[in-house]
């Protein structure tokens, strides 16, 4: 009997040792960047006035700051919009969505080719991006910059489309699926994504795109959540390039910022960024919690618009102007805000959820709830901080019903399915070319 018990114990220890060996051998651990001076160009994001009220009883709640580069950029955009003889300086907000970013790539590529001057959207002064939107922002701050040559804008769009046109999923990530999370620590390794971002920015070592990003007349910011504090932060894209000693170092810094924005816990390999002293080592959890930090941008727009309106709005009120007239004055004063939802706004119905279950399917449902509700709620919440300005939205809805014979209109658990991404790029083309165009307005606050 004793020999039997010893045998069982030895077997259990052997299995445990094998499991520990497999865990240490195969778990990915965080992907780490060492970027000198990275945190010089990263700022904590303000939660916005509405969330600040909710957190009023938190002893160490963050104090609102509106003197950082993003707020200054928003202020400049409003002032530019109202300066005689100047073009509009509008705001472009790019949501997350992973492979769904192929929709935005197809949209801007088609708008550019149909524009006559390779300028897909004129007058953009500020871009914010989360996750896949931060990757798009790198290319669009060149592609939408009127000071760049048409050839350079076209080149940036070519690299954008290339980034969302992989030949195989393994070109982007090493997907082991949710079932492999206990062993690997995440559903996909992202070292290949790091390589792909750098190749998109510097194809064959070509430094032109990096230089154009650093010289762009458009300000752009990538947002992400710091894991330890749970604080939303964002990086100044252009300043990361300017501060880098070489184009290669700049590409690494941009990859770090955009991958920090994309590092969705459980699904993507986690990511750390160390500063020059090696001590400012932070783990990041992507940026989807704050979508594309709409509230912060909108609060800044609203503040600047009201400051611009102060004199003539009071005069109108004294003269008996109607609320509708004041609202129109607000719309005329505010820059237009364009929002790209890189994904659908409703979840596709799946009757199988009522008849089957399991940890993997439940995990996927939880992910869908987190991402979709966060994105859609943030878009709807734009109106709370910008009650009357023009907010124009486009989304990847109708991806499975619009007329197309390109690629496939379905996917399973693939993170980057080439045939599905081809259909999404074609959806972007379709919406850009349809008679009503790709954008529709959000209703004013008094209309909802």
| Superfamily of the domain at 29-316+329-441 | Cytosolic phospholipase A2 catalytic domain (3.40.1090.10)
Please say if the pLDDT value at position 395 is more than 60: yes
Lowest mean pLDDT of 22-36, 191-205, 296-310, 417-431, name the range.
Answer: 22-36
**152-164 pLDDT per residue, tens:** 999 999 999 999 9
Alpha helices in 82-131 (DSSP H): 101-113
**45-84 pLDDT per residue, tens:** 766 666 777 777 877 766 555 556 666 666 666 666 666 5
Q: Which of the residues 95, 112, 131, 261 is marked catalytic? A: 131
Mean local confidence (pLDDT), 100-113: 96
**Would you place residue 30 in the very low, low, confident or very high pLDDT band (cuts 50, 70, 90)?**
confident
In whole angstroms, give the CA distance from residue 321 to residue 312. 11
- Note if 131 is an active site residue: yes
Burial per residue of 29-60, b for 16 or more beta-carbon CB atoms within 10 angstroms, e otherwise: ebbebebeebbebbbebbbbeeebeeeeeeee
Structure-block tokens of residue 148: 């760049």
In whole angstroms, give the CA distance from residue 129 to residue 24. 35
**384-393 pLDDT per residue, tens:** 777 888 899 9
In whole angstroms, give the CA distance from residue 188 to residue 28. 9
Tell me the angle at which helices 191-201 and 150-163 cross, rounded to the nearest 10 degrees: 160
pLDDT for res 403: 94
CA-wise closest residue to 199 among 244, 175, 165: 165
Q: Please give the C-alpha separations between residue 433 and each of 80, 92, 103, 404, 436, in angstroms, as whole numbers.
A: 30, 20, 13, 13, 8
| CA 329 and chain centroid, separation | 31
Pick 250 or 274 by higher pLDDT. 250
- Residue reference for tokens 């009201």: 306
pLDDT for res 19: 44
**338-366 pLDDT per residue, tens:** 999 999 988 777 666 667 776 666 666 66
Q: Which of the residues 285, 302, 329, 426 is marked catalytic? A: 285
- Contacts of range 59-63, beta carbons closer than 8 Å, 24 or more positions apart: 62/231
| Whole-structure pTM value | 0.86
In whole angstroms, give the CA distance from residue 218 to residue 238. 9
- Note if 170 is an active site residue: no
- Residues 47/60, Cβ–Cβ less than 8 Å: no
Structural domain boundaries of the chain?
A: 29-316+329-441
The overall average pLDDT reported for the chain is 80
Tell me the angle at which helices 132-143 and 101-113 cross, rounded to the nearest 10 degrees: 10
pLDDT for res 16: 46
% of the chain beyond a pLDDT of 90: 37
**Would you place residue 9 in the very low, low, confident or very high pLDDT band (cuts 50, 70, 90)?**
low
Mean local confidence (pLDDT), 428-445: 94
In whole angstroms, give the CA distance from residue 148 to residue 235. 23
Helix and strand numbers, DSSP H then E, in the chain? 16, 13
**Would you place residue 25 in the very low, low, confident or very high pLDDT band (cuts 50, 70, 90)?**
very low
Burial class (CB in 10 A: 0-12, 13-18, 19+), 170: exposed
Beta-carbon contacts of residue 191 (< 8 Å; ≥ 6 apart): 31, 174, 269
Mean local confidence (pLDDT), 18-28: 47
């Amino acid at each position: 009997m004793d020999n039997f018990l010893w045998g069982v114990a030895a077997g259990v220890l052997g299995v445990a040792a094998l499991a520990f060996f497999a865990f240490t051998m195969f778990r990915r651990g965080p992907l780490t960047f060492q970027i000198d001076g990275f945190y010089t160009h990263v700022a904590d994001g303000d939660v916005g006035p509405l969330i600040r009220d909710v957190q009023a009883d938190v002893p160490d709640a963050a104090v609102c700051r509106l003197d950082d580069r993003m707020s200054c950029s928003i202020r400049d955009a409003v002032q530019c919009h109202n300066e005689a003889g100047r073009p509009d300086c509008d705001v472009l907000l790019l949501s997350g969505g992973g492979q769904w970013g192929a929709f935005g790539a197809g949209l801007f590529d088609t708008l550019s080719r149909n524009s006559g001057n390779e300028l897909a959207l004129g007058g953009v002064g500020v871009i914010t991006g989360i996750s896949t939107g931060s990757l798009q922002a790198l290319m669009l701050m060149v592609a939408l910059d009127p000071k760049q040559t048409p050839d350079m804008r076209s080149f940036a769009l070519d690299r954008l489309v290339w980034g969302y046109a992989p030949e195989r999923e393994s070109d982007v990530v090493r997907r082991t699926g949710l079932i492999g999370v206990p062993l690997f620590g995440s559903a996909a390794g992202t070292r290949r994504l790091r390589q792909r971002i750098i190749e998109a920015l510097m194809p064959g070592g070509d430094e032109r795109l990096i230089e154009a990003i650093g010289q762009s007349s458009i300000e752009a910011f990538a947002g992400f959540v710091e894991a330890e504090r749970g604080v939303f932060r964002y990086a100044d894209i252009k300043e990361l390039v300017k501060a880098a000693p070489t184009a290669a170092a700049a590409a690494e810094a941009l990859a770090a910022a955009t991958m920090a924005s994309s590092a969705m816990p459980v699904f993507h390999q986690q990511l750390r960024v160390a500063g020059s002293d090696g001590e400012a080592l932070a783990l990041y959890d992507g940026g989807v919690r704050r979508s594309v930090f709409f509230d912060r941008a909108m609060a800044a727009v609203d503040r600047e618009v009201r400051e611009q309106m102060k004199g003539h709005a009071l005069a109108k009120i004294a003269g008996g102007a109607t609320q509708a007239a004041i609202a129109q004055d607000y719309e005329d004063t505010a820059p237009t805000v364009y929002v790209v939802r890189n994904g659908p706004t409703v979840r596709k119905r799946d009757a199988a959820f009522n008849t089957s279950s399991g940890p993997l399917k439940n995990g996927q449902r939880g992910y869908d709830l987190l991402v979709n509700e966060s994105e859609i709620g943030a878009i709807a919440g734009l109106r709370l901080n910008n009650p009357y300005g023009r907010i124009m939205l486009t989304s990847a809805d109708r991806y499975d019903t619009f007329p197309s014979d390109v690629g496939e209109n379905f996917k399973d658990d693939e993170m980057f399915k080439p045939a599905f991404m081809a259909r999404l790029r074609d959806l972007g083309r379709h919406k850009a070319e349809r008679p009503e165009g790709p954008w529709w307005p959000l209703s004013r606050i008094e209309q909802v």
